[in-house]
Amino acid sequence: MNSNPTIWRATVLTLFPEMFPGPLGVSLAGRALSSGLWALETRDIRDSATDRHRSVDDTPAGGGPGMVLRADVLAAAIDAAGVASDRPRLLMSPRGRPLTQSWVAELAAGLGPLIVCGRFEGVDQRVIEARALEEVSVGDYVLSGGEIAAMALIDACVRLLPGVMGKCESGADESFSEGLLEYPQYTRPQTFEGRPIPDILTSGDHAKVAAWRQAEAEALTRARRPDLWGGRKGPKSTTDG
């Protein structure tokens, strides 16, 4: 719809184009899509099938269960998408590099990726190599297809695009932005089932609030994600053991 070449664009190759925009069509991402802050192009891999039955998959060489997406069909679908060579070409894959907030920020700052969604047992290795697809994982578990993983990636990128989030600072403070998980949040009512909001948050002392939040974020990160805590760059606070 939007042919503006400078707009951040996700081009999704899938066997199930009817899944899109799906959740990307509502709330923050959906409003931004309707107002032209980003563009979504969904392409059906099956349109590149060449045989009478429009088949896209075949049995795995060497045997074993399931089906594999054919290299020739997928390569034709990628080529037909005609995306500029300076756009990232991603393949959603449980074998891929784990997606992180810093990678998301990098992708959001670029032109927007081509994203291939696998199905079945995955895709023929040769198309990954021949089209230089970079494999991206959304976690150490197996989904039945790449579409939901692609939506997670796109959603995470879109909310960082200029103008998408209400306040420009709302992305700066949240989980992972400083290598920390976010501090706990509270809102009215003042007391919920006998639990008051921590006094400091209603004290009006902004410096104390900031110090409390920093300490809470550090304690949470140390307790829940020692991997993040250990990998943090920059100075650690005096509470570091």
Interacting residue ranges for ligand SAH, rule: CB under 6 A: 92-95, 117-119, 121-122, 137-139, 141-143, 145-146, 149
CB–CB of 10/149 below 8 Å? Answer: no
Place of tokens 């006998």: 194
Closest distance to ligand SAH from the beta carbon of 21 (Å): 19
Closest distance to ligand SAH from the beta carbon of 141 (Å): 6
Closest distance to ligand SAH from the beta carbon of 33 (Å): 22
The three-class DSSP label of residue 153 is helix
For ligand SAH, which is the closer residue by CB, 144 or 238? Answer: 144
Q: In whole angstroms, what is the distance from residue 232 CA to residue 18 CA? A: 41
Residues contacting 111, CB < 8 A, separation 6+: 8, 9, 84, 86, 87
For ligand SAH, which is the closer residue by CB, 150 or 180? Answer: 150
Closest distance to ligand SAH from the beta carbon of 12 (Å): 11
Closest by Cα among 132, 129, 42 to 86? 132
Closest distance to ligand SAH from the beta carbon of 76 (Å): 18
Nearest residue to ligand SAH on Cβ basis: 118
For ligand SAH, which is the closer residue by CB, 10 or 201? Answer: 10
CA distances from 62 to 65, 66, 67, 130, 230 (A): 10, 12, 12, 21, 42
For ligand SAH, which is the closer residue by CB, 137 or 175? Answer: 137
